Amino acid sequence: MARFIPIILAGGKGERFWPVSRLKWPKQFLRLDGSQRSLLQSTADRLLPLAPWESLFVITASHLAEGVRAQLPEIPPENILVEPQGRDTAPAVAWATLEVAKRYGEEVVCGFFPADHYITDRQRYCDTLRAAADLAVREGAIATLSIHPTFPSTGYGYIEQGPQAGTFSAGIVADLPAYKVSRFTEKPDQETAEGFLKSGRYSWNSGIFIFPAAVMIAELETYAPEMTAALKDKGVDAYATLKKLSIDYAVMEKTDRAYVMPANFGWDDLGDWNAIERMLTGKASEESTPENKTQVGDAQLEGNTQNNAQNIELCQHLGLDTQGSILYSADANELIVTIGLEDVVVVRDGNATLIVKKDRTQDIKQIVKTIGQDDRFKHLL
């Protein structure tokens, strides 16, 4: 395996986990995955079998850099790349790839990983990444990992498989098929998602990419030449002149170098509060988590209590005729009392309370935007 450099994308806002996730302490800094480590720390931990600390990179926003350094003191300071402005994923991938290529040469294999994913099978995860790196080197590919869909989700983008391009093996992962990418799709409506699932040709886009640096640089020069030239010329100082652009739109939807590997290693992107229920009930993975408990901040989360066995109770809760709900308080001494509720999320964190139907949690991002436009409440972000 060629030298592998993992780069963690840690600039996200985690708005759908508001009010626990805030601008200066977003989702990736929270402990949500069943360990005493934050999502960011867990992401770094599970990449260590593939690369030592000195080979790990993080790219993050300027207002989060101090938190990243505090959470990952093992990473050399020069490996924490700080974006002065958020410009979406294309500039982040381009700048980080160019920086890594300067230090290690363009033959190095880069891997990009969101900081806020939940993975249950670390051995299968690492071996899948080894297989994907093999694909990337052998085919000169930009390999993306996708996830076999278990239900018709409207919260994920999808990737359609084209012709098969062989199988790849590493460790416990044997004969993992790879396909040319036919197309990337945005988040679908319910009917479209059901059609994707029935076809067997679509899988969830995990946002994980693996490629030789030379391949991505060449594709960036072809499909995003102005952005790439600016970053080559000025580095991070070019950010003020760059437009917001996603890597999917800039490169992945246009390149003929895109390959997809549908995988299974117990994955969830923890996109909103419903993901906590999937995690605690074992539905986020092929196997249940070892213990039905996790942590958010300093509060211990228990999956259920005797009084409300159908609820996910992450707090002290007394309920009457309440079922199918998720209840959370950041303060272990607070009591949440509910009467006659079904399929809702109730979240208490300091000076803010969220109450939302479980099927509307995707809309939390919209209300967070409204809060930011109101001078009375923007301090709550």
- State which residues form the domain around 303: 292-380
Residues 258 and 304 in one domain: no
Continuous segment of H or E residues that includes residue 143: strand 142-147
User: Is 373 part of any domain?
Assistant: yes
Residues 85 and 210 in one domain: yes
**How far is it, in rounded angstroms, from Cα 339 to Cα 337?**
7
User: Is 274 part of any domain?
Assistant: no
φ, ψ dihedrals at 10, nearest 5°: -125, 40
Residues 218 and 308 in one domain: no
pLDDT of residue 291: 34
Question: Number of structural domains, the chain?
Answer: 2
User: Is 75 part of any domain?
Assistant: yes
**How far is it, in rounded angstroms, from Cα 344 to Cα 117?**
23
Q: What is the pLDDT of residues 25-53, one digit of tens each?
A: 999 999 876 578 999 999 999 999 999 99
User: Is 278 part of any domain?
Assistant: no
Residues 324 and 235 in one domain: no
Which of 248, 265, 282 lies at the terminal end of a domain, its last residue? 265
Answer whether residue 307 shows pLDDT above 80. no
Could you tell me if 65 and 73 are in contact, meaning their C-beta atoms sit under 8 angstroms apart? no
pLDDT of residue 309: 54
Residues 220 and 306 in one domain: no
Residues 231 and 330 in one domain: no
Residues 232 and 371 in one domain: no
Answer whether residue 329 shows pLDDT above 80. yes
User: Is 284 part of any domain?
Assistant: no
pTM attached to this predicted model: 0.90
Residues 239 and 358 in one domain: no
Supply the DSSP symbol for 147: E
Could you tell me if 273 and 347 are in contact, meaning their C-beta atoms sit under 8 angstroms apart? yes
- In the chain, the amino acid numbered 34 is G
Q: How far apart are the first and last CA of the chain?
A: 44
**How far is it, in rounded angstroms, from Cα 381 to Cα 290?**
34
Residues 84 and 15 in one domain: yes
Residues 330 and 212 in one domain: no
Residues 307 and 176 in one domain: no
CATH number, domain of 68, equals 3.90.550.10
Model confidence band, residue 2 (pLDDT cutoffs 50, 70, 90): confident
User: Is 65 part of any domain?
Assistant: yes
Q: What is the pLDDT of residues 190-233, one digit of tens each?
A: 999 999 999 999 999 999 999 999 999 999 999 999 999 999 99
User: Is 97 part of any domain?
Assistant: yes
Model confidence band, residue 93 (pLDDT cutoffs 50, 70, 90): very high
pLDDT of residue 328: 92
pLDDT of residue 36: 85
Q: What is the pLDDT of residues 238-292, one digit of tens each?
A: 999 999 999 999 999 999 999 999 999 999 988 899 998 988 887 654 432 333 3
User: Is 283 part of any domain?
Assistant: no
Model confidence band, residue 349 (pLDDT cutoffs 50, 70, 90): very high
Answer whether residue 325 shows pLDDT above 70. yes
pLDDT of residue 324: 95
Residues 358 and 213 in one domain: no
